[in-house]
Each structure stands twice: as C-alpha cells, then as structure tokens.
Structure 1
C-alpha cells in the first residue's frame, strides 16, 4: 500500500511540475484596459488576450527592457539584449521585445483580440520577459521598414499609451 501511494504521489508531483509556465499583464489606463497572458508551449510563447479602448487601427505592441512603470517612459527602450535593429515579430532581425502591431476593430471604442505564438520571447533565460513592461504605442509600428529616422529603433510607433509589468501567472511551483 505504501509503495502504491508513493507511486501515485510521484506521478501527481510529476504532473504538477510539467504544467507550462504562464505570465500575465493587466493594462489599465483612463482609455485602455485589457489583459494578456504569455504561456509556454512547445512552439514558443503563446500570447493571448483582449485589449479595448482605442480607435480602430493598428498600434505598436512591444516589450520594453525595464519594469519601472511609474510612467511609461521609465520602462526604457525595447527589450533588445542582442543589440539588433528593430523589426517585425516574424522578421529574422528584430528586438526580442518586438511584437509588431495589434489591430483594434469596431466603431467608437475598438477592441483588439491578441492571439499568436512568438518564438523569440521566453519566460526563462536570456530572452525572459518577466518583470519587464509591455507597452501599447499610439501609432502603427512600421516594423523597421518605414525609412523614418526612428524606424530601426522604435518602428516609429509613437507615444506610449499604456504600460504594465509582466508578472508570474501560474503555476507557482514551476517558478522555484
């Protein structure tokens, strides 16, 4: 009986430690609200959530290097540990934090449904996004292709509309 219980306990603990890591961010400002989760999968980090509050259109969506959100400017530059040029989410050359654009749809207050897998960001190691800020910008990101003087650094995505720190989601045991 003790042997059977030990096997059951081992299998249960093994299943708990195999749950994927998940991080979460809640974006809240006077005009924008939403939540995004980042979940480890075999294909990469699954980024999923909903944001509302901006007019219909495309807006730059980036992870910045710092988690200081006393104001969004305090979050520093795009997360770029390899010192590369700015690009799109699917470009070979990009900052780790370059997540491209998200599209708000609808009339009046738009809604953006976010749902993609990114193969560069991570929840561990050098490309770890935990504790960094997710920022939604006020303009469309030109993905480094616009020819503007800031295209290769920021995608000419404009001001920072809302920001928040990416934090641990679940499971708690996987982070220790």
Structure 2
C-alpha cells in the first residue's frame, strides 16, 4: 500500500512541475511578443526624404521628409527662396518634376474623388490638400503635420504617397476654388520616391 501511495505522489509531483513550467513558458512567450509589438510601434518603420527643385523661374527650394511610425505619417518641410507671405503646399498625383513649370506633376492627389478644400473639412478635401504656410521676410518657411490618412509604400491606392510629388505654389490656397484652390504658379517640386 505504501508503494502505491509513493508512486501516486511521485506522478502528481511530476505533473504539477510540468504544468507549472508550461505556464511559465507560455507567459514568457506572451511577454516577448508584447515587447516586440511595443518596440515596433515606437520605431519609424519607413522614411522618405528629398529636395525640392525650383520651377517657373523661381529660386524656391527646400527639404522634405515623410516618416511613418505605426499608422501615423509625419510630414516636415523647410523652404527657402520664396516671397514673404502665405503660400500653398500640396501633394500632386505624379512624381514627375521634369517640366519647367512643374505641371508634369499633374493635379492634386485626390484618390477619393472629393472636392478641393481645407484639410479636415466636413465638406471634403483632397488627400493632397496640405494647406498654407507662412514665409518670413528672409524668404524661409516651414510646415509640418501628421496624419493617419497617408502611408509610405503600403500599397493602398487611397493612402499611399509614394509616386506622388510635393508642389509649393506662388500664392495662397483659398480652399474653395475648384479643383486646386487658385494658388498660382508652381514654384518648386519634388518627387516622393524611395
């Protein structure tokens, strides 16, 4: 009878130890996965930067950077060589800046076929309607924004900015004239390409 009790206790002890180790391994695995997700969501997953070249006989140039972290895309541009005042900046549909007037970049990027308007407007706006920015007396200005309505190389035709371009205009976007806001000549252009 003592032998049966010892064997039974031995089997129970082995089973308990095995279950405890399985649970510990499972918890460690879950923690590893959580840490990987936290690390990846805090890292910049994609980045594209480029220079803007002068168009329409202007001196306007600049540096542009897009970076994606998770589902958010950050846009930053530093510009120079512009007349003081307000200027429009948009994403256009082609990464082609070969024309002297910048028109090879096509119209505003508008994959959802909305009316032109101010970014975030209830009445609609193009995915390329970034807006206006101020240029100081020294001819420099900057603009930045972030959104989850864009992505870098995700393949979603309604969000992917790769293969498009940035255009800086001579004047200010009025946010109502169709289809482009009556912002005037294209002063600089740069293709959003990797």
What TM-score bracket applies, with the shorter chain setting the length? 0.7 to 0.9
For the 8 Å contact 1:102–1:114, the answer to whether it is kept is yes
Q: How many corresponding residue pairs?
A: 151
Q: Where is the helix percentage greater, Structure 1 or Structure 2?
A: 2
- TM-score by structure 1 length? 0.76
Instruction: Indicate conservation of the 8 Å contact 1:89/1:118, yes or no.
Output: no
In the alignment, what sits opposite 1:121? 150
Matches within 5 A, 1:75-154: 75-92=105-122, 93-105=124-136, 107=137, 109-123=138-152, 124=154, 125-126=156-157, 127-144=159-176, 151-154=177-180
Deviation of 1:41 (Å): 3.0
Structure number with higher relative contact order (C-alpha < 8 Å, ≥ 6 residues apart)? 1
CA contact (8 A) 1:97 1:121 kept: no
Q: CA RMSD in A?
A: 2.5
Q: Summarize deviations over 1:41-91 as a string: whole Å, max 9, x none.
A: 347311113111112111111111111211111111100111110011232
TM-score by length of 2: 0.69
1:15 shift after superposition: 6.1
Which structure's CA Rg is the greater one? 2
Is the 8 Å Cα contact of residues 21 and 40 (structure 1) preserved in structure 2?
A: yes
Q: Distance in 2 between matches of 1:59 and 1:128?
A: 25
Structure 2 gap ranges (5+):
1-34
SS of structure 2 residue aligned to 1:74: helix
State the match for 1:3 in structure 2: none
Greater strand proportion: 1
